[in-house]
Structure 1
Amino acid sequence: MKRTVILTKPSAQQARWIEALKDQGYVVESIPLIHIEPLPETAAQRSVWLDFDQFHGVVVVSPAAADIVLDRLDAYWPQPPIGIRWLCNGSGTAQVLLPLLGSAVHYPQLGNRAEDVLALPETQDVQDQRWLIVAGEGGREVTQPALEARGARVTRLEVYRRTGIELGPETQQRLTQPNAIVQISSLAALDCLTSQASMVTKQTTPLLISSPRLDSAAREHGWQHIVNAQGASLEAALDALNSLQEPTS
């Protein structure tokens, strides 16, 4: 018998996960924990979009950032500027960019951390190049200082914010159902869940997380059953889920 997987990603990012999980026999429930809110465009950001063709490379850190990038390109550029190296942290973000940008999109085949992006060949020889990072508010700021240390001139645009969603009592109870594992892929989602979870939930509900950073944070918050997928991609999550010993029926 396959587990129930509770997806906590924003609703707009769940379709590919739901299809793939169901194809492998999992029961899937949707309990979004985070709402993605695009930030108002500033004059400084507008200037960046208008000068987009001046960048040698663009790092897009999430599917939400990718959606906003494509929206801005559509608004300002009838055709995407050519010659830009597009980098992202995993297949989920790449799936958003590929239909428009095709072979210009690169991402690590193993790992999805900023460090893995910085190991790509496209980021090595960047002396005097202009690079853009498109991200949400907060988060790890690893890529910018690393590129700057390699001689690049880097602009960072924060284009959205994450806000936690308040769960009602019935929804909180669904998190503790037998045979369920809760997927968590961001600190914001973990913080939102932890602030609303009971002690029983933290002691009994397994978490499927995506990185050592989330692993450490979950343990500090008192979660007892943690499965580290070693990556935030759908493929990494499926590998981790399929490696779990299935409970006997």
Structure 2
Amino acid sequence: MVIPPADSLQHRRVLICRPRPEAERLADAFRSAGAKVRVLPMLQREAITNDPSIRTRILEIDQFNHVIAVSPYAAGLLIDWLDTWWPQTPSGILWYGVGAGTAAVLAGYGLDARQPTAGHNSEALLDLPELAQLEHQKVLIARGEQGRDLLPEMLKARGAGVTLLPLYRRFAPEHDGATLQHSLTAFDPEVVVTLSGETLNNLICLSNNTDHNLGNSLIVVPVERIADQAHKAGLQQTCVPESLADHDIVAAVAHRLASADASPEIPSKDARD
């Protein structure tokens, strides 16, 4: 999808609910397209620093054949641990990022990171040929304390010995009534960006304390699975970008809103180029 013109979202109201600092970077991209933007994180993250098992896993990382980071945040924390305990990164490991952004973080540290050829989720990663046959292979997955079971379960089914490496915990932020009023009811966003199922759930929960009707907003979600989750919650206007790169998110929103302006009704499914 092409990058939209600088004025393609002129005066459109966009609320970004992803965690900082990613939210601020995406906000700048929307502002560059002319949008009015507010940031209201619906997910906070905290690195785990006091668990001695993390250091043990990091010191044993050379025993793994494959190391997977599930998000840019997980990849960044993994690199911090590697930088502390491995003066030289061990060889013989295949590194993976679930999505281009995660792979880019690993690549920035000098790691030859593999990523899905299409898509940016666990299902797409599992299509890589390197992960097809894993008998007698050991896989380490860097992620948060809680996460989807699909990736570890599928890798185990393919014969791998899988070890989870929780590097951070996620929790819902506490926003007072005035903050919610300012960002939801008063701002009345036309577009709300929620790039995880947990973020979407937290938004729905907190929005119940306001007069804002989320059903009137276009909800940007990362994959069709989360779009289905939104639909079940009564939010029918959803958009799934081609990728989670900032310019692709902005382009997808610009395309959908332009389509809506030309049509009396926004379709409930993603309209892709």
Give the whole-Å Cα distance in 2 for the aligned partners of 1:205 and 1:167.
20
Give 1:196's aligned residue.
206
Q: Are 2:23 and 2:41, in contact at CA under 8 Å, matched by a contact in 1?
A: no
1:229 aligned onto 2:237: no
The residue identity in structure 2 corresponding to 1:228 is: V
Aligned to 2:271: none
- Is the Cα contact below 8 Å between 2:134 and 2:160 reproduced in 1? yes
Partner of 2:88: 79
Q: 1:49 to 1:13 in 2, by over 3 A?
A: same
Instruction: State percent identity of aligned pairs.
Output: 30
Q: Which residue matches 2:264? A: none
Quote the Cα distance in structure 1 between the aligned partners of 2:158 and 2:189.
48
> Counterpart of 1:157 in 2: which secondary structure?
strand
Give the conservation status (yes or no) of the 8 Å contact 1:210–1:232: yes
| Counterpart among 241, 244, 249 of residue 256 in structure 2 | 244
Partner of 1:10: 19
The CA distance in 2 between the partners of 1:20 and 1:95, in whole Å, is 19
Q: Which moved more, 1:166-175 or 1:133-142?
A: 166-175
SS of the equivalent of 1:87 reads strand
Corresponding residue of 1:64? 73
Aligned partners of 2:203 and 2:102: how far apart in 1?
24
Letter in 1 for 2:51: T
1:26 maps onto 2:35 in alignment: yes
> Does residue 1:122 correspond to 2:130, yes or no?
yes
Q: How many residues align?
A: 247
Structure 1 residue aligned with 2:191, among 167, 176, 181? 181
In the alignment, the residues of structure 2 paired with residue 71 and residue 240 of structure 1 have an alpha-carbon distance, to the nearest angstrom, of 33
Deviations 1:202-245 (A, max 9, x none): 23222111122211222222324322336544354234213213
Return the offset for 1:4. Answer: 3.0
Give the SS at the match of 1:134: strand
1:11 alignment partner, SS class: coil
Alignment-derived partner of residue 92 in structure 1: 101
User: Counterpart amino acid of 2:203?
Assistant: L
Q: Contact 2:192 / 2:219 at 8 angstroms: preserved in 1? A: yes
Is the partner of 1:86 in helix, strand or coil?
Answer: strand
Range with greater deviation from structure 2 (61-70 or 231-240): 231-240
How much has 1:189 moved relative to structure 2?
0.9
Amino acid at match of 1:134: A
Distance in 1, Cα, partners of 2:194 & 2:85 = 35
Which amino acid in the other structure matches residue 198 of structure 2?
A
Distance across 1 between alignment mates of 2:99 and 2:139: 19
Letter paired with 1:156: L
TM-score where L is the length of structure 2: 0.81
Matched, 1:107 2:115: yes
Q: CA 1:74–1:178 in structure 2 vs 1: closer, same or farther (change >3 Å)?
A: same
Deviation of the 1:151 alpha carbon? 1.8
Deviation of 1:154 (Å): 1.2
Q: 1:149 to 1:44 in 2, by over 3 A?
A: same
Whole-angstrom distance in 2 between the partners of 1:168 and 1:109: 42
Query: CA 1:245/1:12 → structure 2, altered by over 3 Å: closer, same or farther?
Result: closer
Aligned residue type for 1:197: S
Specify the alignment match of 1:156 in structure 2.
164
* Greater alpha carbon shift after TM alignment, 56-65 vs 172-181: 172-181
Q: Distance in 2 between matches of 1:139 and 1:101?
A: 27
Shift of 1:79: 1.8
Paired residue for 2:225?
213
**In 1, Cα distance between the equivalents of 2:213 and 2:123?**
33
Q: 1:58, 1:134 within 8 Å by CA — same for their partners in 2?
A: yes
Tell me how large the CA RMSD over aligned residues is: 2.3
Question: 1:35 Cα shift?
Answer: 1.0
What is the TM-score of this pair, normalised by structure 1? Answer: 0.88
Structure 1 residues without counterparts, runs of 5 or longer: none
